Structure 1
Amino acid sequence: MSAPQTQSARPEAVEEKDVHVSRSMFRAYDIRGVLGKTLNADVARLIGRAIGSEMASRGLSTIAVGRDGRLSGPSLSAALIEGLRASGAHVTDIGAAPTPVLYFATHHLELGSGVMVTGSHNPPDYNGFKIVLGGETLAEDAIQKLYTRIVEKDFTSGAGMLEKRDLSQDYIERIAGDVRLHRPLKIVIDCGNGIPGAIAPQLFERIGADVVPLFCEVDGNFPNHHPDPSDLHNLEDLILTVKQIKADLGIAFDGDGDRLGVVTPAGEVIFPDRTLMLFAQDVLSRNPGATIIYDVKCTGKLAPVIEAAGGTPLMWRTGHSLIKGKMRETGSALAGEMSGHFFFKERWYGFDDGLYAGARLLEILSGDAQQRMPQEVFESLPNSVSTPELKIELAEGEHYKFIERFQKEAKFEGAHINTIDGVRADWPDGWGLVRASNTTPVLVLRFDAENMEALKRVQNVFRAQLLTINPKLKLPF
Structure 2
Amino acid sequence: MQLSDLTSIIKAYDVRGLVPEQWDESVARAIGAAFAEFVHGETGATAVVTAHDMRDSSIPLSRAFAEGVLACGLDVVEAGLGSTDMLYFAAGSLELPGAMFTASHNPAQYNGIKLCRAGAAPIGQDSGLVEIRTWAEQEIDEPGSAFSRQPERVGTVTSRDLVAEYAAYLKQLVDLSGIRPLKVVVDAGNGMGGFTVPVVLSGLPLEIVPMYFELDGSFPNHEANPLDPANLVDLQAGVREHAADIGLAFDGDADRCFIIDERGEPVSPSAITGLVAVRELAKGHGTTIIHNLITSQAVPEIVREHGGQPVRTRVGHSFIKAEMARTDAVFGGEHSAHYYFRDFWRADTGMLAAMHVLAALGEQSRPLSDLTAAYERYVASGEINSTVTDQAGRVEAVRKTYGEREGVTFDELDGLTVTLPDGAWFNLRASNTEPLLRLNVEAPDAARMQELRDEVLELVRA
2:242 is the alignment partner of 1:245? yes
CA distance in 2 between counterparts of 1:260 and 1:405 reads 34
Aligned length: 443
Report which stretch shifted further, 88-97 or 237-246: 88-97
CA distance in 2 between counterparts of 1:228 and 1:317 reads 22
Q: How does 1:88-237 map to 2 (within 5 A)?
A: 88-111=73-96, 113-135=97-119, 136-141=121-126, 142-153=128-139, 154-155=146-147, 156-158=149-151, 159-181=154-176, 182-237=179-234
SS class of match (1:199)? helix
Match of 1:353 among 344, 349, 353: 349
The aligned residue for residue 83 of structure 1 is: 68
C-alpha contact (below 8 Å) 1:273/1:337 kept by paired residues? yes
The aligned residue for residue 256 of structure 1 is: 253
2:272 is the alignment partner of 1:286? no
C-alpha contact (below 8 Å) 1:29/1:438 kept by paired residues? no
Match of 1:72 among 57, 60, 72: 57
Quote the offset at 1:164 in angstroms: 0.8
Task: List runs of 5+ in structure 1 lacking aligned partners.
Answer: 1-16, 472-477
CA distance in 2 between counterparts of 1:288 and 1:168 reads 27
Quote the offset at 1:448 in angstroms: 1.2
* Distance verdict in 2 for CA 1:433–1:163, change over 3 Å: same
CA distance in 2 between counterparts of 1:402 and 1:89 reads 45
Q: Note the alpha carbon deviations across 1:62-93, whole angstroms, 9 max, x for none.
A: 21111111111011111111111112222111
Report which stretch shifted further, 197-206 or 89-98: 197-206
CA distance in 1 between counterparts of 2:50 and 2:435 reads 28
Match of 1:35 among 9, 14, 19: 19
Q: Note the alpha carbon deviations across 1:383-406, whole angstroms, 9 max, x for none.
A: 322212222346xxx6xx725872
Percent identity, aligned pairs only, is 32
C-alpha contact (below 8 Å) 1:306/1:313 kept by paired residues? yes
SS class of match (1:306)? helix
* Distance verdict in 2 for CA 1:19–1:203, change over 3 Å: same
The aligned residue for residue 362 of structure 1 is: 358
CA distance in 2 between counterparts of 1:43 and 1:407 reads 41
* Distance verdict in 2 for CA 1:247–1:79, change over 3 Å: same
2:41 is the alignment partner of 1:52? no
C-alpha contact (below 8 Å) 1:55/1:89 kept by paired residues? no
SS class of match (1:456)? helix
C-alpha contact (below 8 Å) 2:13/2:125 kept by paired residues? yes
Which letter does structure 2 place at the counterpart of 1:312?
A: Q
Which letter does structure 1 place at the counterpart of 2:38?
A: E
2:376 is the alignment partner of 1:392? no
Q: Note the alpha carbon deviations across 1:192-231, whole angstroms, 9 max, x for none.
A: 0001211213322334321111101110000001111111
Which letter does structure 1 place at the counterpart of 2:450?
A: K
SS class of match (1:358)? helix
CA distance in 1 between counterparts of 2:117 and 2:316 reads 17
* Distance verdict in 2 for CA 1:438–1:197, change over 3 Å: farther
Report which stretch shifted further, 17-26 or 350-359: 17-26
CA distance in 2 between counterparts of 1:466 and 1:454 reads 18
* Distance verdict in 2 for CA 1:26–1:351, change over 3 Å: same
Q: Note the alpha carbon deviations across 1:337-381, whole angstroms, 9 max, x for none.
A: 111110111x4332101112111211111113xx32322102232
* Distance verdict in 2 for CA 1:407–1:191, change over 3 Å: farther
SS class of match (2:173)? coil
2:417 is the alignment partner of 1:424? yes
TM-score by length of 2: 0.90
Report which stretch shifted further, 373-382 or 159-168: 373-382
C-alpha contact (below 8 Å) 2:397/2:459 kept by paired residues? no
SS class of match (2:344)? coil
Quote the offset at 1:189 in angstroms: 0.6
CA distance in 1 between counterparts of 2:203 and 2:393 reads 49
C-alpha contact (below 8 Å) 2:424/2:442 kept by paired residues? yes
Q: Note the alpha carbon deviations across 1:281-312, whole angstroms, 9 max, x for none.
A: 11112237611111122112221111111111
CA distance in 1 between counterparts of 2:156 and 2:291 reads 40
Which letter does structure 2 place at the counterpart of 1:222?
A: F
SS class of match (2:385)? strand
C-alpha contact (below 8 Å) 2:92/2:118 kept by paired residues? no
Which letter does structure 2 place at the counterpart of 1:64?
A: V
The aligned residue for residue 14 of structure 1 is: none
Quote the offset at 1:18 in angstroms: 8.9
* Distance verdict in 2 for CA 1:323–1:462, change over 3 Å: same
C-alpha contact (below 8 Å) 1:429/1:454 kept by paired residues? no
* Distance verdict in 2 for CA 1:270–1:157, change over 3 Å: farther
CA distance in 1 between counterparts of 2:72 and 2:89 reads 24
Task: List runs of 5+ in structure 2 lacking aligned partners.
Answer: 140-145
CA distance in 2 between counterparts of 1:225 and 1:53 reads 39
Report which stretch shifted further, 78-87 or 456-465: 456-465
SS class of match (2:32)? helix
Which letter does structure 2 place at the counterpart of 1:128?
A: G
Match of 1:453 among 447, 451, 454: 447
CA distance in 2 between counterparts of 1:149 and 1:269 reads 44
Quote the offset at 1:52 in angstroms: 0.7
C-alpha contact (below 8 Å) 1:201/1:213 kept by paired residues? no
Which letter does structure 1 place at the counterpart of 2:93?
A: H
* Distance verdict in 2 for CA 1:46–1:76, change over 3 Å: same
Q: Which runs of 4+ in 1 moved over 6 A?
A: 17-20
Which letter does structure 2 place at the counterpart of 1:119?
A: A
Report which stretch shifted further, 458-467 or 444-453: 458-467
* Distance verdict in 2 for CA 1:318–1:93, change over 3 Å: same
Q: How does 1:267-282 map to 2 (within 5 A)?
A: 267-282=264-279
